[in-house]
Amino acid sequence: MYLIFETEQEGIDRSEQEGIARGLAYHKVGKGSRYVTRPRITKKPLVGAAKWALPVSTYNLTEVEQESAVEEVKFPDPEAI
């Protein structure tokens, strides 16, 4: 399951929110794990720009996030990056 963001930073910010909620080490002692997952660039569609997909299958999502989450995302071929 993924949340889709316009920018990488938006995905990172959401991951950090989850890290805070889970009490990851970085948020308790200032070092160690800070983010739960990292966003990945999606495959560019025929029209428009690529987006950023954040894996969130283990996140505690809001109702709005649950409604907007997608099950599958197309990622670019690793050689194309």
For 56-75, the pLDDT digits (tens) are 999 999 999 999 999 999 99
The answer to whether the beta carbons of residues 16 and 34 sit under 8 Å apart is: yes
| Residues belonging to the chain | 81
pLDDT, residue 28, reads 94
**How confident is the model over 17-60, as pLDDT tens digits?**
999 999 999 999 999 999 999 999 999 888 788 999 999 999 99
CA distances (Å), origin 48, targets 38, 41, 42, 44, 51:
22, 14, 12, 7, 9
Please identify which residue in the block is written with the tokens 């997909």.
53
User: Residue 12's closest CA among 33, 31, 36, 28?
Assistant: 36
pLDDT, residue 42, reads 95
Residue 81 pLDDT more than 70? Answer: no
